[in-house]
Chains A and B, each alone.
Chain A
Amino acid sequence: MIQIKDLHKSYKMGKNSLHVLKGINFNVEEGELVAIMGSSGSGKSTLLNILGMLDSSDSGEYILDNVPIKDLNETKAARYRNKFLGFVFQSFNLINYKSAAENVALPLYYQKVPRKERQEKALKYLEQVGLKEWAGHLPSELSGGQKQRVAIARALAAEPKVLLADEPTGALDSKTSYEVMDLIQKINDAGNTILIVTHEPDIADMCKRIVHLKDGVIIEDKKIEQIRAEQYV
């Protein structure tokens, strides 16, 4: 699903240049649930942003679902993001004046799905995350965990090839975090490919594979026995 070869990324700040990714190589198969671990500043978000086509690499190869990702203009990047990727952010990033259902329907709008179908799908995915009754509520009326579940429903709505989540539990208490992880595991059980950035070992242990980043390189990449979140909720 994802093939990355010798990926480099530096941030230029004035005269200085900060080399954040120093040759990353890894592949992700369909249906994997991967945790990207590492201490703060190790380049996890940078890697995820490049995978998400929100940022571009300086050199290296990136192939997503057999499509080489390079020389993207804004419009093309937007289309690829819309077609291939779903995002979940630490701070949820719901649009505050749109209801839960409207938020979930937004990527479908950019896919030019007709209005009626959008609404149906939005409800379907809200149901999947257990928030069907909250469809008409604004984000401000939801708890943190509920917000993140709406965000996950939104990411799923576009039916992406890969789900990218940057610290999805970073703003949540541990009980809520496990609820979210439980949801993520179930989505993964259904066959979805998911990459999660986290620095919390307990969250990483709930994935099927851990990729450890340090100083811009992968120092460890191992398959693990998944710990089910279900038992903690």
Chain B
Amino acid sequence: MFDRDIWQEIYHSISNNKLRTFLTGFSVGWGIFILVLLLASVKGMQNGFTLQFSDDATNSIFVRTGTTSLAYGGFEAGRRIQMTNDDVEYIKRSFPNDVEYISPRVYQNTSARYKSETGSYNIQAVHPDHQAIEKTIVSKGRFINTNDLMNASKVAVIGRKVEEDLFKNEDALGKFVEFNGLPFRVIGIFTDDGDDNAERNIYAPTTTYQKMYGQTDHIDQIALTYNPNYDLTEALAFSDRLENVFRRRFKIAPKDQSGIRIFNYAEVFEDISNFTGGLDIAVIIVGLLILLSGIVGIGNIMVFIIKERTKEIGVRKALGAEPWSIIKLVLFESVFITALSGFIGLGIATGLLAAIGPSIKTGAFANPSVSMSMVVTATIILIVAGVLAGLIPAMKAARVKPIVALSDK
């Protein structure tokens, strides 16, 4: 089918009409160029979102309780739901395959003092697992360990900002700092990429705070990460199971939003991917419209070429050209122009992205890029587009009547 003669025909036709071929090819190339850049931008946004959230483990779930808003299970509305250490153990026992890391959180406001410097900070009393959940980077010393927890040691891991504010130029590691008048030894300093506020936090063992404040086993929140192999659906299914178990355990009405709240990052990701997925579709529609105008352009040119070549087509038919061979001639030329110019657009766009994409990283936008599957899809679209653009002119050409074409009038 693709013999040398076909290529020769295409070559002749194109080289006889360089400007015209260029102009139409340009519109298709431009269409593909824009389409690729737009899709890459959406990818850039997705990357940006992922980057912003990847600071925290993206497979984390947070369980909070509050006051019930609905009467349920023999209880009146307005009941305060209080989680305890038992609930953490209960989750561990109930979901051994689902849970990766788990830690309670007890929140406490404190006024801290070192020598003459004071400041007001949030303390989160947590378990050692918490480091993995928040992806806390300990730059000096260490994080809270099981010993600290068992002994209810008065130790603290402070944020870089806390060290800066309270200790000025001193090294805080090993020093004692007062929280509400009680001395805590600083066992570690942590940093947090790009988030100053996170570096104003202080971590301490849960047991220490539970002991200090009335020998309770109360906790404010449970943070956990689930099996990292879970996909979005499995993650959402797991948090649903978790929520159901907790609603039963605490007798909270299924519709009661204030009694318990389970926050799953997967939900956020679902929203984001829905959003960017929507953008994807919008971009594809816009891109296809641009491409369509290119196709119409090529179609027009081909019709024009056919008009010009009516006589030649008549001669070919008189010499024995079958309709299909004429269709082939027109169609291949159209596909060739479309594909070639499309590939050039594709090449320039991907080249541009490869060159400058990786260096783009601002806020919610990072590394705009195209995937192999997108390139393959674009290629298929191009070839289909070429066929579509050539189809009507090709049919027209096949219908040329030799006597009309050859009449010397």
Residues of A within 8 A of B (CB): 49, 52, 54-55, 74-75, 78-79, 81-83, 87, 89-91, 93-95, 97-98, 106-107, 109-111, 115, 154, 158
Provide the residues of chain A in CB contact with B320, threshold 8 Å.
78-79, 81-83, 107, 110-111, 158
Is B319 touching A107 in the complex (CB atoms < 8 A)? yes
CA distance A77 to B404 in the complex (A): 16
User: Which residue from A52, A74, A106, A115 sits with its C-beta under 8 Å from B322?
Assistant: A74
Is A154 touching B16 in the complex (CB atoms < 8 A)? no
0/1 interface trace, chain B 111-131, chain A, CB 8 Å (1 if under): 000000000000000000000
Which residue of chain A has the shortest Cβ distance to B408 in the bound complex?
A: A91
Which residue of chain B has the shortest Cβ distance to A160 in the bound complex?
A: B320
Which one of B46-54, B165-173, B308-316 is at the interface?
Answer: B308-316
Which residue of chain B has the shortest Cβ distance to A115 in the bound complex?
A: B4
Report how many A-B pairs have Cβ atoms within 8 Å: 65
0/1 interface trace, chain B 393-404, chain A, CB 8 Å (1 if under): 000001001110
Provide the residues of chain B in CB contact with A82, threshold 8 Å.
319-320
CA distance A52 to B321 in the complex (A): 14
0/1 interface trace, chain B 4-47, chain A, CB 8 Å (1 if under): 11000000100010000000000000000000000000000000
Looking at the assembled complex, report how far the CB atom of B193 sits from the nearest CB atom of chain A, in whole angstroms. Answer: 65
Contact sample, A vs B, 21 pairs, CB 8 Å cutoff: A54-B406, A74-B322, A74-B323, A75-B324, A78-B317, A78-B323, A81-B317, A81-B320, A82-B319, A83-B320, A91-B408, A93-B311, A93-B314, A95-B315, A95-B316, A97-B16, A109-B5, A110-B325, A111-B320, A115-B4, A158-B319
CA distance A55 to B318 in the complex (A): 11
Which residue of chain A has the shortest Cβ distance to B314 in the bound complex?
A: A93
Is A97 touching B12 in the complex (CB atoms < 8 A)? yes
Provide the residues of chain A in CB contact with B312, threshold 8 Å.
95
Provide the residues of chain B in CB contact with A158, threshold 8 Å.
319-320
CA distance A30 to B325 in the complex (A): 32
Is B315 touching A78 in the complex (CB atoms < 8 A)? no
Provide the residues of chain B in CB contact with A83, threshold 8 Å.
320
Looking at the assembled complex, report how far the CB atom of A132 sits from the nearest CB atom of chain B, in whole angstroms. Answer: 21
CA distance A94 to B315 in the complex (A): 8
Is A87 touching B408 in the complex (CB atoms < 8 A)? no
Given contacts A97-B16, A115-B4, are A75 and B322 in contact (CB under 8 A)? yes
CA distance A106 to B329 in the complex (A): 14
0/1 interface trace, chain B 304-346, chain A, CB 8 Å (1 if under): 0000000110111111111111000000000000000000000
Looking at the assembled complex, report how far the CB atom of B307 sits from the nearest CB atom of chain A, in whole angstroms. Answer: 16
Is A106 touching B318 in the complex (CB atoms < 8 A)? no
Provide the residues of chain A in CB contact with B325, threshold 8 Å.
110
Looking at the assembled complex, report how far the CB atom of A17 sits from the nearest CB atom of chain B, in whole angstroms. Answer: 18
Which residue of chain B has the shortest Cβ distance to A97 in the bound complex?
A: B12
Is A106 touching B316 in the complex (CB atoms < 8 A)? yes
CA distance A49 to B318 in the complex (A): 10
CA distance A63 to B168 in the complex (A): 112
CA distance A115 to B323 in the complex (A): 21
Which residue of chain A has the shortest Cβ distance to B5 in the bound complex?
A: A109
CA distance A78 to B321 in the complex (A): 6
Provide the residues of chain A in CB contact with B311, threshold 8 Å.
93
Is A55 touching B403 in the complex (CB atoms < 8 A)? yes
The 8 closest A-B pairs by CB, nearest first: A82-B320, A110-B320, A107-B319, A78-B322, A93-B315, A97-B12, A54-B402, A54-B403
Is A75 touching B323 in the complex (CB atoms < 8 A)? yes
Provide the residues of chain A in CB contact with B315, threshold 8 Å.
93-95
0/1 interface trace, chain B 283-318, chain A, CB 8 Å (1 if under): 000000000000000000000000000011011111
Provide the residues of chain A in CB contact with B4, threshold 8 Å.
115
Looking at the assembled complex, report how far the CB atom of A56 sits from the nearest CB atom of chain B, in whole angstroms. Answer: 10
CA distance A74 to B401 in the complex (A): 10
CA distance A49 to B403 in the complex (A): 7
Provide the residues of chain A in CB contact with B324, threshold 8 Å.
75
> With contacts A78-B323, A81-B319, A97-B16 known, what are 14 further pairs, Cβ within 8 A?
A54-B318, A54-B403, A74-B323, A75-B324, A78-B320, A82-B319, A89-B406, A90-B408, A93-B311, A93-B314, A93-B406, A107-B319, A110-B322, A158-B320
